[in-house]
């Protein structure tokens, strides 16, 4: 494989103590949002940086381009969604997520936001006005808001009051559910299935370790990082069958991105979703051919500490059809950017080795503040959030 060489193409400096909270990339623009609600646009053509949103009431919880990259959407916390025209960065419209400020104030504190390609998921993590430190089950009233036409769909999910959402792809939600101080479930919910008995749940062995990152990487597989730098690809089935395992080249993984190559355009991995005015978020679940997704696992089934021998562990005869064909970009605390592709992990570069980056910024270190950090990629660019701002790397 030809070695990829990247160099510094641009830098979006952010204000001290205003960390980046989201990044989106298209063929023409890079958009970043911050915790204080600022939105910056970087033109790939002329490298011009524009501040297009000075201040928001809440953080920028997600940014997404539409399929044609004509517009992009910025989620302002759980409060509203802003729609911008990509070419001019002009604000086109606002979608209010709540019917009133009273409702927003009522639910905001415990609301978690997750963004997919086409929609925003509002996920309440605890009942309103509940500060109970004991773990208990409750019915969470979730809502999905379509970016394009602001149509909304409500559904309920039974979770514990100690639940951590990990990823949402417009069809499934994956999350960790704590049952006690030692016991946890790894769970996947199909948002179109109202039967909560069909939530896919798997107990984690106490030695399995902390899951720091987990993402859907296809209709069939998830990618997760546990114990700082142990990486796994698992199949979406009742056993969460281990497909591949490897260790990151470097220490703690702090950010992950998934992208696909398709004629120099990043492929949309959530292309099995249909939207209709008369049937909001209608899902073609027939594309998920593994029926075990909807089977409830036994309470005695546990995912245990896995051996890291890089062997294919799937017992599914069609596993080759479900083999991950994209690229997993991994950023670690040491500044390494690694790509996992074609069953191999390769170091692409180290941020500290990029010669055009300011030496003073290197001395202050890139990830010393302990923020949430992000990496976003397409075939030609890699965007990395740091304590100083966003570095934009270009493939030479």
Query: Pick from 367, 392, 366, 363: which is nearest to 380 by CA?
Result: 392
Report residue 322's pLDDT band, with 50, 70 and 90 as the boundaries. low
> What are the backbone dihedrals phi and psi of residue 68, each rounded to the nearest 5 degrees, phi first?
-85, -5
Task: Classify each residue of 58-77 as buried b or exposed e, where b means 16 or more C-beta atoms within 10 Å of its C-beta.
Answer: bbbbbbbbbeebebbbbbbb
Task: Provide the token pair at 395.
Answer: 């493939």
Contact in structure between 381 and 395 (CB atoms under 8 Å): yes
Q: Go through 140-171 and write b for each residue having 16 or more CB atoms within 10 A of its CB, e for each that does not.
A: bebbbbbbeeebbbebebebbbbbebbbbbbb
Token digits of residue 276: 């209709």
Could you report the per-residue pLDDT of 341-391, keeping only the tens digit for each?
A: 999 999 999 999 999 999 999 999 999 999 999 999 999 999 999 999 999
Separation between Cα atoms, residue 233 and residue 211, nearest integer Å: 13
Residue 196: helix, strand or coil by DSSP?
helix
Kindly list the distances between the CA atom of residue 131 and the CA atoms of 104, 108, 128, 381, in Å, as whole numbers in the listed order. 19, 15, 9, 44
Distance (Å, whole) CA 173 – CA 191: 7
> Nearest 5°: phi and psi at 15?
-70, 145
Q: Provide the 3-class DSSP secondary structure of residue 363.
A: helix
Highest mean pLDDT out of 97-106, 137-146, 373-382: 373-382
* Angle formed at CA 343 by CA 204 and CA 331, multiple of 5 degrees: 70
Give 250: exposed, middle or buried? Use CB within 10 Å, 0-12, 13-18, 19+.
buried
Check if the beta carbon of residue 339 is closer than 8 Å to that of residue 327. Answer: yes
More confidently predicted of 290 and 230: 230
Q: Note the pLDDT tens digit of each residue in 175-186.
A: 999 998 889 999
Superfamily of structural domain 6-395: YVTN repeat-like/Quinoprotein amine dehydrogenase (2.130.10.10)
> pTM score, two decimals?
0.87
Q: Does 79 have pLDDT greater than 70? A: yes
Give me the mean pLDDT over the 200-227 stretch: 93
Number of residues assigned to the chain? 396
Domain boundaries, the chain: 6-395
Task: Give the residue among 252, 272, 270 at the shortest CA–CA distance from 330.
Answer: 252
User: pLDDT for 265-297, tens place per residue?
Assistant: 444 444 433 333 333 333 333 333 344 444 444
> CA–CA separation, 371 vs 39, rounded Å?
18
């Amino acid at each position: 494989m030809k070695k990829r060489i990247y160099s510094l193409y641009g830098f979006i400096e952010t204000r001290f103590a205003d960390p980046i909270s989201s990044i989106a990339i298209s063929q023409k623009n890079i958009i970043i949002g911050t915790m204080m609600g600022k939105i910056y646009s970087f033109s790939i053509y002329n490298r011009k940086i524009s501040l297009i949103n000075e201040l928001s009431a809440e953080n920028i919880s997600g940014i997404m381009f539409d399929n044609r990259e004509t517009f992009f959407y910025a989620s302002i916390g759980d409060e509203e969604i802003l729609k911008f025209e990509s070419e001019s960065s002009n604000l086109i419209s606002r979608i209010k997520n709540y019917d009133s400020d009273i409702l927003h104030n009522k639910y905001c504190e415990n609301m978690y936001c997750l963004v997919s390609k086409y929609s925003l998921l509002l996920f309440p993590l605890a009942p309103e006005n509940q500060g109970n430190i004991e773990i208990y089950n409750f019915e969470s009233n979730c809502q999905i808001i379509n970016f394009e036409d602001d149509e909304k769909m409500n559904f309920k999910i039974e979770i514990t009051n100690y639940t951590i959402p990990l990823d949402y792809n417009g069809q499934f939600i994956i999350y960790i559910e704590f049952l006690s101080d030692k016991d946890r479930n790894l769970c996947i919910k199909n948002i179109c299935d109202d039967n909560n008995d069909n939530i896919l749940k798997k107990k984690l062995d106490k030695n399995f370790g902390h899951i720091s990152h987990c993402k859907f990487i296809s209709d069939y597989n998830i990618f997760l990082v546990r114990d700082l730098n142990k990486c796994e690809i698992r199949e979406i089935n009742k056993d969460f069958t281990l497909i591949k395992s490897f260790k990151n080249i470097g220490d703690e993984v702090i950010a992950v991105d998934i992208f696909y190559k398709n004629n120099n355009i990043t492929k949309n991995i959530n292309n099995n979703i249909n939207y209709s005015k008369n049937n909001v978020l209608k899902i073609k679940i027939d594309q998920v051919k593994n029926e075990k997704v909807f089977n409830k696992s036994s309470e005695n089934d546990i995912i245990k500490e896995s051996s890291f021998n890089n062997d294919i562990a799937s017992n599914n005869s069609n596993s080759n059809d479900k083999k991950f064909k994209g690229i997993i970009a991994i950023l670690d605390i040491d500044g390494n950017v690694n790509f996992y592709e074609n069953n191999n992990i390769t170091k692409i570069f180290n941020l500290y080795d990029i010669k055009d980056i300011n030496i003073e910024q290197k001395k202050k270190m890139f990830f010393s503040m302990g923020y949430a950090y992000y990496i976003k990629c397409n075939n030609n660019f890699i965007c990395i959030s740091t304590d100083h701002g966003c570095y934009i790397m270009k493939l030479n």
